[in-house]
Structure 1
Amino acid sequence: MNLSRTSPVGQCLDMCPFKERKQREQQGRLHKYEILDGQWTGRGQKLKRLPLADPAKTVKEYSRPAAGKELSSPRDLRPSSVLLKTVQYLLFEVWDRVNDSDSVSLAEAYSFVFDRLRAVRQDLTVQRIRGHSGALVLEGSLGFLLCSPYLVRELPLGTYDEVLHANQVRESFAELMECYRTEPKCQREAEFQALLLLYDLGNMDTLNRALKLPRGVVDSPQVLIALAVNRAHLEGNWTRLFRLLRRLDCLQTCAFYRHLPNIRDRALRILTHAYNSRNCRFPLDLLASLLVVDNIEVARQMCIRRGLSLAPEDQQSIIFYKTSFKDLGPEGPGKEGHLVERKKGDFTWAEIMLGEDEGEFARSYK
């Protein structure tokens, strides 16, 4: 851990400083995940009854820097060990307990975890924590930031701010790369260098920086497959790209997820030109396999939406005829059974976010 001489050193050993916890309790600004069950403030009839904060559940909220606002008091800053414990708590005890089929609870959990992780990174930045200690915290936070767009894909736009989320991803990656620069032997560096390549698909600056990484990182299996995906994308080799996507793990696929709709749309355009004929029949099961969609019905609807016709004799083939192709843009993001759900397997989402191989370590905070 490298700290500048002028950087404050956190002294708060709780997930939320005492002063903030009491203040939010008195102002009625506690989140439902932070309330002490069945206990309320106020005892007289004239006093407003407000829920009490549970010290074991209350987590420091993000506070925007403002003129005259003190963000660097050591008593309000959490050291790296507490920040890591906070990340683990948010993922295991909050996110993994949410009912993902209930859009209301999913939206509440996402909003809560996103805000509290933003506060974690703020504490990290104010103290200028780098190296191994900073990397552990940022890796866990990025695990959530990379997976959650897939998990909250069906939430209303007002609940999930795509631009703000993407900004947090980029800023977190930038800080993580600085941690790796100051501590070149971080255990998960190759994994997250690969995740950045997949998230920033086709970005030449990211590619050039990756090619200058130290040997042992640049020639790791994770980085090599991420580079291969980028190469296939830049060459327009969609068949190879989709083959490579099958080989990515769950977290890697989530990092790539935002590119899937555009990639599939471009692949359909190319197929429409390549097989442009009223007499040509392209099997829907082959199309579903090439685009790695879950079943032929998904492939059928993608084609029908674009004005392409089914073969009248069996309805199991598509006729690629470019004059009938409608330029309606990519599909909306959806559930990915083959690419995400099967790869997740029996792991919880917190284990995916914190690293499957880190399961025992990740639970050590309990």
Structure 2
Amino acid sequence: MRAARCPGMCPERERCERQGQARLHRLEVATGAAVKEWRRPAAGSEAAAPDQLRPPDVLLRTVRHLVARVVPRAEPRAGVGAEPGDEVGAWAGVGTEPGDEVGAWTGAEPRAGVGAEPGDEVGAWAGAGAEPGDEVGAEPGDEVGAEPEDEVGAEPEAGVGAEPGDEVGAWTGVRDEPGDEVGAWVKAAAEPGAGVLPEPWPLVHEFVMDRLRSVRQDMVSQRLGGRPAATILEHSLRFLLCGQLWLGRPPPSPRPRHSQPGSVEAQVRECFSRLLAAYSQGRDVYENQAEFQALALLYDLGSDQALHHALQLPSHIKDSPEMQTALGINRALTEGNYVRCLRAVRSLPFVESCAVYRHIATLRHRLLRAFSHGYSCCNCRFPLQALAEILAVDTGDTAADLCRRHGQQVNGDSVCFQKSSYVEPDPDIQPAPELLELVTIKQRGRTRSSIIQGCKMPSIDR
């Protein structure tokens, strides 16, 4: 294992470089913590120096920061302890815990008011170069303006961490004296409801995916294994599997070609490969192993290689409820029993549904092809509502649309299957948004952060 001695979530050299070039991400500014970004290794370049590699404890702290501080910024209520209707939450206060007197943007201290007037979109970010206790008003000529898109402080040293490893930096140029609980920028506040809206999920998704990839890059560079590596990979997989569904579009159906390097599918496969290898090394007991072994089988549903791996697992893993469900779905697919396969998929919990969802379109195509041959008769009518239940869609209208896409004739509340008119739909045409409800309804109001952290969610029968 290589030496790693970077004390912060972002190496000091990279932070200064990006801050000087105004390349700090707006989510880094909003949370007050820069995070090392992923960079493609240059051909023939030397290995990263120890002061550029984050040790295991810092990597885990980075993952916790991304999941617990950044991901919630895209939630409808982006704050901890915000009152109903408040648009401004406490997530902007890095280092504050629920119940702390110092909220994020509500300004509890007299010196923390920073002169923010009602209607201001941003609090005291405009006040650069103030001393602790000053009212940090934005004066004409200050380099850091009050516009939301400004990303850097006025002084080079005003970034994340006054000292190496500090997460809470003086983004406004305000340096904390020893004993200060948080930087003055944390207390700089707009009034509740002052227009700070949740971040769009595509922005958060792209940022977190890049920073988690950087974490895994550091993990591989120092040949990290064991529990720290498993924890990082488990969080990464939950994020990658669920993130695309939260974008409102399903992952593409699997095709017999290699995925593009850097794509979500390529990252998922890399994470599964490293995680399953970590599980097989040493004698550690991993409490989430059965869950992720099942996820790997569901993600590669129908793969002989994935099934072979699953059948070689120890009996206490192979006989777990998660693995038995995944093996049952795989068996139903192998036998061509698509009705039983879709019925089992419908009862899967949320994360498992996200893993298998890329196969759903194929399962529905095969079922409709089988029905178009088995029920091909001019005088035969199949009720649409019953077909919707079998296809695991939510309405008869959705089932009717699927039938029409496969060349079948729909008359009122029934469909007439004809073998001669069956057509395979274009695989590049994405399903209608309502077809995602098979998965999205199972989230049941849980936050994205809690799902990525591994909060168990029960299966449901619909």
TM-score, normalised to structure 1, is: 0.82
Given that 1:277 and 1:320 are in contact with CA atoms closer than 8 Å, whether structure 2 keeps it comes out as: yes
* Other-structure match for 2:294: 194
Counterpart for residue 81 of structure 1 = 57
Deviation at 1:274, TM superposition (A): 0.9
CA distance in 1, matches of 2:73, 2:63: 15
In structure 1, how many angstroms separate the alpha carbons of the residues matched to 2:456 and 2:384?
A: 38
Residue of 194, 213, 224 corresponding to 1:118: 213
Given that 1:16 and 1:60 are in contact with CA atoms closer than 8 Å, whether structure 2 keeps it comes out as yes
1:193-235, CA deviations, whole angstroms, 9 ceiling, x for partnerless residues? 0000000111111111111111211111111111111111111
Which residue identity is paired with 1:236? Answer: G
Query: Structure 2 residue aligned with 1:316, among 379, 390, 413?
Result: 413
- How far is 1:133 from its partner? 1.4
2:391 aligns with one of 266, 270, 291: 291
Give the CA deviation at 1:127. 1.1
Q: Counterpart of 1:256 in structure 2: which amino acid?
A: V
Contact kept in structure 1, 2:383 and 2:414, CA below 8 Å: yes
TM-score, L = length of structure 2? 0.66
Q: Does 1:58 align with 2:34?
A: yes
RMSD over aligned CA atoms reads 2.4
Cα distance in 1 for residues equivalent to 2:395 and 2:58: 45
In structure 2, the partner of 1:15 is 9
- SS of the aligned residue for 2:366 comes to helix
Residue 170 of structure 1 and its aligned partner are, at CA, apart by 0.8
Q: Which residue of 1 aligns with 2:454?
A: 355
Q: Which amino acid is 1:211 matched to?
A: L
Structure-2 separation of matches of 1:326 and 1:99: 41
Deviates more, 1:126-135 or 1:59-68: 59-68
Q: Which runs of 5+ in 2 are unaligned?
A: 77-196, 253-258, 458-462
SS in structure 2 at match of 1:293:
coil
Would the aligned equivalents of 1:78 and 1:123 in 2 still touch at CA under 8 Å?
Answer: yes
Alignment-derived partner of residue 98 in structure 1: 74
- Deviation, 1:68, is 5.6
- 2:168 aligns with none
Matched with 1:169 is 268
Alpha-carbon distance between aligned partners in 2 of 1:99 and 1:219, rounded to the nearest angstrom: 37
Percentage identity across paired residues of the two chains: 41
User: For 2:376 and 2:234, how far apart are their aligned partners in 1?
Assistant: 47
* Structure ranking higher in helix proportion: 1
Match of 1:186, SS? coil
Name the residue aligned to 1:332. 430
Aligned equivalent of 2:125? none
Distance 1:336 1:354 in 2: 26
Q: Residue 416 of structure 2 aligns to which amino acid in structure 1?
A: I
Give the Å deviation of 1:12: 2.1
Amino acid at match of 1:86: T
Counterpart-to-counterpart distance in 1, 2:289 and 2:382: 43
Task: Quote the offset at 1:76 in angstroms.
Answer: 1.6
Q: Name the SS for the 2:317 alignment partner.
A: coil
Using the alignment, how far apart are the partners of 2:51 and 2:244 within structure 1?
Answer: 34
Asked whether the 8 Å contact 1:202–1:230 carries over to 2, the reply is yes
SS at match of 1:318: strand
Give the equivalent residue in structure 2 for 1:26. 20
Q: Residues 237-287 of structure 1: CA distance to partner in whole angstroms, max 9, x if unpaired?
A: 101101111221100010001111111111111111111011111111111
Deviation at 1:31?
1.5
Cα distance 1:96–1:270, how it changes in 2: closer, same or farther (>3 A)?
A: farther
Q: Which amino acid counterpart does residue 95 of structure 1 have in structure 2?
A: V
TM-fit CA distance, 1:74: 1.9
Alignment correspondent of 2:333: 233
Change (3 A) 1:33 1:128: same
Say if 2:227 is the partner of 1:132: yes
1:78-120 Cα offsets, whole Å, 9 max, x none, are 12222222223223322232269x9x93322222111111101
Q: Tell me the SS of whatever aligns to 1:216.
A: helix
SS of aligned partner of 1:142: helix
Compared with structure 1, are the counterparts of its residues 254 and 156 closer, same or farther at alpha carbon in structure 2 (3 Å cutoff)? closer
| Letter paired with 2:6 | C
Q: How many residues align?
A: 325
Q: Cα deviation per residue 1:158-203 (whole Å; 9 max; x = unaligned)?
A: xxxx741111111111111121112441110111000000001111
1:263 paired to 2:239? no
Q: Which amino acid aligns with 2:27?
A: Y
Cα offset, 1:155, TM superposition? 9.5
Deviates more, 1:204-213 or 1:298-307: 298-307
Worse overlay, 146-155 or 298-307: 146-155
2:313 paired with 1:213? yes
